[in-house]
Amino acid sequence: MRLATFLQYAGDVRATVDQAVALEDAGIDMVFVAEVYGFDAPTVLGFLAARTRHVSIGPGILPIYSRTPALIAQTAAGLDAVSGGRAVLGLGASGPQVVEGWHGVPYDRPLERTREIVDLCRRIWRREVVTNEGLYPLPLPAGQGTGLGKPLKMLTRPVRDRIPVYLAALGEKNVRMTAEIAEGWLPFLFLPDRADRVWGKALADGTARRDPELGPLETVAGGLLAIGDNVAALRDLARPNTALYVGGMGAKGRNFYNDVVRKYGFEAEAERVQELYLAGHKQEAMAALPDELIELTNLIGPEGWVRDRVAAYREAGVTVLNISPVGDDPLGDVRKLKEIVA
């Protein structure tokens, strides 16, 4: 089992990358950079590529609506080049709040678009001449355009013709597709003890259609990390972000994260958190999150307890443990965790 971390997308970028360099030395194997509505991920990733030596790096995630498929492929190939073949490409549909509210484009056909973009990226990296009759490229309105456009292949030669694609997915159809076509899966709010009831069938169905050349699906999941006998209070640090996603990321009936928590068995609690958050009562929403959900989606506790939780993640199929150290000795905790997962 490898270790990954997501860089914080708020705050001082240079200081955050300094932390990533220290985490690499402590044993982190992968670093993802989020892109929501702060700085863009590729700029930070380029800086990260120059500062690190061996960790895999990639966006976590690029929203599929914010760039053309060709630009996504170019960006991943460029990152792979400047990092010496260490890039991974994290993609996802994000949600209507970001796609429509921030990017100002319609949130439509996410599964169809994702599948097509992954296929186009792989064809571009192989330097095939790209012609496409699907959703991309977007057709020009009648009478517009120069008429000079023609199919092209990538001008430069990528370091690799196959960059690993990791898809963020929560819904049943999206997870099924991920297990079929992607190298990796990036679930959020992953509760290992109850993951099978939510995604087991979708993963099995997608795996049955998976190309053997892809190899086994990598699953990246975890939470906050703190190892010690008196660290339980740090679990509350997970409440603001969890409440944001469960309660505030979308409207009633269109919140994928809320749906997942309901499927875990916290139906009433998820509904209450959403009601409070959407009404502007954020502190009350954080308090309404089930203690069990916070406890079991993070790695905060004594070393023996953390070992047991790592075993639960492993049993649930997690191959890359994603952690955010929050204790007094973050680098020491990563080193301990590295020993535990070895």
Tell me the C-alpha distance between 113 and 231, whole Å. Answer: 43
Which pLDDT score, from 0 to 100, does residue 138 have? 57
Q: Which domains does the chain have, with CATH numbers?
A: 2-226+299-341 (3.20.20.30)
- Average pLDDT (266-275) is 98
Position 9 confidence tier, pLDDT thresholds 50, 70, 90: confident
* pLDDT tens-digit readout, 220-248: 999 999 999 999 999 999 999 999 999 99
| Predicted confidence (pLDDT) per residue in 140-158, tens digit | 556 665 566 678 999 999 9
Across the chain, what does the average pLDDT equal? 94
* Closest by CA position to 164, among listed 207, 121, 120: 121
Over residues 165-178, the pLDDT tens digits come to 999 999 999 999 99
Identify the pLDDT of residue 251.
Answer: 81
Give pTM, 2 decimals: 0.95
Q: What is the pLDDT of residue 21?
A: 97
d(CA 10, CA 16): 9
